């Protein structure tokens, strides 16, 4: 019935918001912003009605969770980096029907997922930052999925992604994009030297590993990448333990996936972390 039209691994660095504002960092993340705008354009072109975001800023300590609210709006300040994102307005429609459908389907497939409809749960900035640039006109409905999973296996997260694709294709009457919102390596700069690393990766080891991974994606070497993902996530400080990436791999087909990544925004360093926007053909 339904269709998965686009899948991507995306950045959500808070300096993208700083990049909009007058001051010394104005324009510093324009390439990342332009990448989000391009992904949003492609989603429109493909007829996407709902964007499902695997959000590595939504921390959960038990189970998997989906924000199934009808609508999201407010003013957001990051508790993590309040000097980067302060008083950022946001608004976007939700898709409770799809959210409940995804939770039920994943649970039936053996991965317990809860969808929260009657809730005061707010969106985290792993969803809010991308939607600011991809969805400024509220064209897409948004479903946010917890992907900072502290006691979960990457195997279960991959199964979750596979189940979500099955549900969309078998039950949903519409077109969906899946976005893994999180970095590559994610070792923040040490306190006191953050300004020195505003545009750098923390270490040559982390940067080298990130570039190796991007080459695997571009060359379609998914068997190697999937085998090394748990160790890569561990040793390279993967954001959200890279559950967003495991979920996306589930959507795409895991080690059996044959597509090649298309880099939309080239790899860049940000406060010590490694960032990129990449689209994967579905």
The pair of three-digit structure tokens given for residue 24, joined into one six-digit string: 């010394």
Q: What are the structural domains, with CATH classification, of the chain? A: 3-280 (3.40.830.10)
Q: Is the pLDDT of residue 1 over 90?
A: no
Whether residue 3 has pLDDT greater than 90 = yes
Q: Is the pLDDT of residue 173 over 90?
A: yes
- Which pLDDT does position 80 carry in this prediction? 93
Q: Enter the pTM of the model.
A: 0.98
């Amino acid at each position: 019935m339904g269709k998965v039209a686009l899948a991507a691994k995306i950045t959500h660095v808070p300096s993208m918001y700083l990049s909009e504002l007058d001051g010394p960092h104005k324009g510093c993340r324009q390439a990342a912003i332009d990448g989000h705008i391009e992904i949003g354009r492609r989603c429109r072109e493909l007829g996407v009605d709902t964007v499902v975001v695997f959000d590595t800023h939504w921390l959960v300590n038990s189970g998997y969770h989906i924000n199934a609210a009808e609508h999201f709006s407010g003013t957001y300040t990051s508790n993590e980096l309040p000097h980067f994102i302060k008083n950022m307005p946001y608004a976007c429609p939700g898709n409770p029907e799809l959210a409940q459908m995804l939770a039920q389907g994943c649970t039936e497939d053996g991965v317990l997922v809860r969808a929260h409809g009657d809730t005061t749960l707010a969106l985290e900035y792993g969803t809010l930052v991308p939607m600011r640039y991809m969805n400024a006109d509220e064209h897409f409905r948004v479903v946010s999925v917890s992907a900072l999973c502290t006691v979960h296996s990457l195997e279960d997260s991959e199964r979750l992604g596979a189940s979500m694709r099955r549900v969309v294709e078998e039950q949903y009457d519409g077109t969906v994009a899946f976005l893994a919102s999180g970095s590559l390596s994610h070792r923040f700069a040490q306190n006191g030297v953050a300004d020195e690393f505003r545009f750098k990766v923390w270490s040559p080891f982390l940067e080298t590993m990130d570039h190796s991974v991007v080459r695997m994606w571009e060359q379609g070497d998914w068997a190697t990448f999937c085998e090394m993902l748990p160790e890569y996530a561990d040793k390279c400080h993967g954001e959200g333990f890279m559950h967003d990436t495991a979920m996306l791999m589930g959507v795409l087909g895991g080690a059996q996936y044959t597509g090649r990544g298309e880099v939309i925004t080239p790899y860049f360093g940000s406060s010590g972390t490694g960032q990129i926007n990449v689209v994967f053909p579905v």
